Amino acid sequence: MGAGPGDPGLITVKGLERLRKADVVIYDRLIDDSLLEQACPEAEKIYVGKGRGCHALEQKEINLLMVSKAREGKIVVRLKGGDPFVLGRGGEEAEILAANNIPFEVMPGVSSAYAVPAYAGIPMTHRRLASSFTVITGHEDPEKGMSSIAWDKISTGSDTLVFLMGMGSLAKIVRQLIKNGRSPSTPIAVVSQGTSPEQRTAVGTLEDIINLTKKAGFEPPAVIVVGEVVRLREHLRWFDNLPLFGKRVLVTRAEYQASELSKLLLECGAMPIQMPVIRISPPPTWKELDQIILNLKSYGWIIFTSVNAVEMFWKRLNSMNLDSRWLSGIKIGAIGPATSKALAEKGIHPDYVPKIYTSQGFLAELKKADIAGCRVLLPRADIAGNELTDGIIKLGATVKQITAYKTAISTKGVSQGKRMLLRGEIDVITFTSASTVNSLLAILGQEWEVIKQVKLACIGPNTAAALTHKGLKADIVAAEHTIPGLVEAIEQHFKG
C-alpha cells in the first residue's frame, strides 16, 4: 500500500479502509504517525524503515517478515511511502509474495514524483512549457555495477525531469545533465520534506543549485525537478504561503480532544506538536451522580459547561439503561457551540446557549430566563471554579454542583513537546482552559519561564486570566471562544 508522500491526508480512501482492517502493519521510515493511529489499536505495528547507512531490517528480512506474518493467517499491510510501484521496491516485494503463493492486493498511492512538486507550486506539465515528464531514480542499486540511466537520451528527451531519492547524488545529476546537453541555465528546484509543514524549496539553475542547497543545509528526503515548469513556482506556490506555514504550535489539550485543533492547524500549514498536559478521568465513585440522575425530575435546569460533562453524564445514563428521554421536561443550558453540538449528538437541542461562551456571558443572558426558585444541576469538573454557581444562586436558583469528571496533570507523551520547548523550537503554545495553563507550568517546574519566549494563545478571557494569575500575559486571545476561533486568532496575529 502507498501511504502518499508525507501529508497523511493524501492516502487513498481505499487504502485507509484496508489499513483499518489490518492485523499487522509493516511500515517504512517516512510514514506519518497519524496514519498508524488509523490502524486497529490491537494491530501489530512493525517498523522496517531505511535511512542512509541505517536499516532497521535488510530487504531480505522484510520479505521474510511479510511472508511469515501472512502465513499466520493475518491480514498484513505493507505500508510504504508514495506509490509502492514507483521507485519503491513494491514490485520486488510483490514478486516474493507471488513466489510463495500468498494472495495480495496492490493499493496505489499518491507518488511524491508529482505530489511534492505540486505542493511547491510546480506542475509537471503545462501547455505552454512542457508536454512530457520523466521520473528517474537518484539512487540506483549499487550492486548493479553500472548505471542503467541513459543520460544521453533523458537529459534532453523530456521537458520535465523528476529525480527521487537524489539529494545525495545532486552533484552527479547536475554534471550528467549538463554533459549530455541540458543548458546550465535550466531552472531546477529541490524540495525537501515535501507536503509536510517542514517543507523547504530551493530554486536555482543547474549552474548554481549545488551551492544554494549546501548553503541552506538541505537534507534528504528531497525531490528534484528540472525544467521550465520550475519558473511557475513564483506564481503558483500555495502550500508554503499558508498563513501559519512552518509554525510549530504546542497543543496542550487532553489527548483525545487534541485532534480537532491539530487538524485545523495543519490546514493552515502549521506543525502541531501534541503535548497533552491534562487527562480526563471518572470521579472516584459514580454513586452521587447516579443517585442524582435517578432523581433528575426534581430539577428544572441542567447546565453543561463542557463536552466532557456531556460525555460523562450520558455514560452514566446509558449504564442505567436510560437515554435522552429521561431528560424530558427539563430545560438544558450549554456554554458554547462545542457543548451544544455534543448534546445534539445525543438528541438534545439546548434551550439556552449564550452568545458569549464564558461563565460571565452565560449569566448575563440567563437573567432573561425566569430561573428564580428553580433547582439547577451543574455537572462539572472537580476543579471547576464557583463563579457560575454563585452567579446562578444570585439569580434566585438553588444549585447542585456535582463532579462528573476529574482533571489531572498528564505526563503521557509530554517528552517531545517539553524538549522542543526547552530548545526554543516552539513558536506558539495553545491553552484551551485554565487547567492546561496550570498543568503545563507544573510540568515545567523551575524551567517554567521558558514560555516567556513563546507566543501564548488562549481560547478565551478566563484562560487568559489564568495566565495573568501566574504573572504571564496572553499574546493572543480568541474573539470567538471556540477551537476554530482560537486558530483564527493565531492566524490573524501572524498576518498582523
pLDDT in tens, 78-104: 999 999 999 999 999 999 999 999 999
Residue 394 lies in a domain: yes
**DSSP state for residue 480 in the 8-state scheme:** S
Residue 223 lies in a domain: yes
Does 117 share its domain with 105? no
User: pTM for the full model?
Assistant: 0.83
Query: In 112-142, which positions are buried (b, 16+ CB within 10 angstroms) versus exposed (e)?
Result: bbbbbbbbbbbbbebeeebeebbbbbbeeee
Boundary residue ending a domain (51, 81, 109): 109
Does 81 share its domain with 132? no
Does 76 share its domain with 92? yes
Q: What's the pLDDT at 496?
A: 74
Distance CA 468, CA 449 (A): 14
Does 427 share its domain with 389? no
Residue 3 lies in a domain: no
Does 315 share its domain with 420? no
Q: What is the pLDDT of residues 222-234, one digit of tens each?
A: 999 999 999 999 9
Q: What's the pLDDT at 358?
A: 77
Q: How many domains does the chain have?
A: 4
Does the pLDDT of residue 141 top 70, yes or no?
no
Boundary residue ending a domain (409, 427, 455): 409
Average pLDDT of the residues of the chain = 93
Does 393 share its domain with 297? yes
Instruction: Please check whether residue 270 is in contact with residue 251, taking contact to mean a CB–CB distance below 8 angstroms.
Output: no
Does 72 share its domain with 123? no
Report residue 310: phi and psi, to 5°.
-60, -50
Q: What's the pLDDT at 464?
A: 95
Question: Residue 55: which pLDDT band, with cuts at 50, 70 and 90?
Answer: confident
CATH number at residue 89: 3.40.1010.10
* Three-point CA angle 456, 459, 463, nearest 5°: 75
Taking alpha carbons only, the member of 269, 225, 221, 212 closest to residue 245 is: 269
Q: What percent of the chain has pLDDT over 90?
A: 82
Residue 188 lies in a domain: yes
Does 393 share its domain with 438? no
Residue 100 lies in a domain: yes
Q: What's the pLDDT at 363?
A: 85
Question: Residue 142: which pLDDT band, with cuts at 50, 70 and 90?
Answer: low
CATH number at residue 174: 3.30.950.10
Q: Which of 102-106, 172-176, 258-262 has the lowest mean pLDDT?
A: 258-262
Q: What is the pLDDT of residues 341-392, one digit of tens each?
A: 999 999 999 998 888 777 887 888 787 777 889 999 999 999 888 888 999 9
Task: From the candidates 28, 83, 159, 427, give the one annotated as an active-site residue.
Answer: 28
Q: What's the pLDDT at 359?
A: 80
Does the pLDDT of residue 293 top 70, yes or no?
yes
28 is catalytic: yes
367 is catalytic: no
The amino acid sitting at 464 is: A
Average pLDDT for 327-346: 92
Report residue 80: phi and psi, to 5°.
-120, 155
Instruction: Please check whether residue 70 is in contact with residue 97, taking contact to mean a CB–CB distance below 8 angstroms.
Output: yes
Does 301 share its domain with 268? no
Task: From the candidates 45, 50, 315, 470, give the one annotated as an active-site residue.
Answer: 50
Does the pLDDT of residue 321 top 90, yes or no?
yes
Q: Name the grid cell of 235.
A: 506564481
Does the pLDDT of residue 166 top 90, yes or no?
yes
Q: Which residue has the higher pLDDT, 148 or 421?
A: 421
Does 97 share its domain with 169? no
Average pLDDT for 107-123: 97
Distance CA 407, CA 439 (A): 10
Does the pLDDT of residue 156 top 90, yes or no?
yes
Q: Which residue has the higher pLDDT, 444 or 496?
A: 444
Residue 1 lies in a domain: no
Does 148 share its domain with 123? yes
Task: From the candidates 124, 165, 167, 312, give the one annotated as an active-site residue.
Answer: 165
Please give the residue range of the domain that contains residue 66.
8-109
Residue 376 lies in a domain: yes
Boundary residue ending a domain (409, 437, 468): 409
Distance CA 275, CA 286 (A): 29
Average pLDDT for 463-488: 94
Average pLDDT for 35-54: 88
CATH number at residue 384: 3.40.50.10090
234, containing H or E segment: helix 233-236
Does 204 share its domain with 299? no
Q: What percent of the chain has pLDDT over 70?
A: 98
Residue 2 lies in a domain: no
Q: What's the pLDDT at 52?
A: 67
263 is catalytic: no
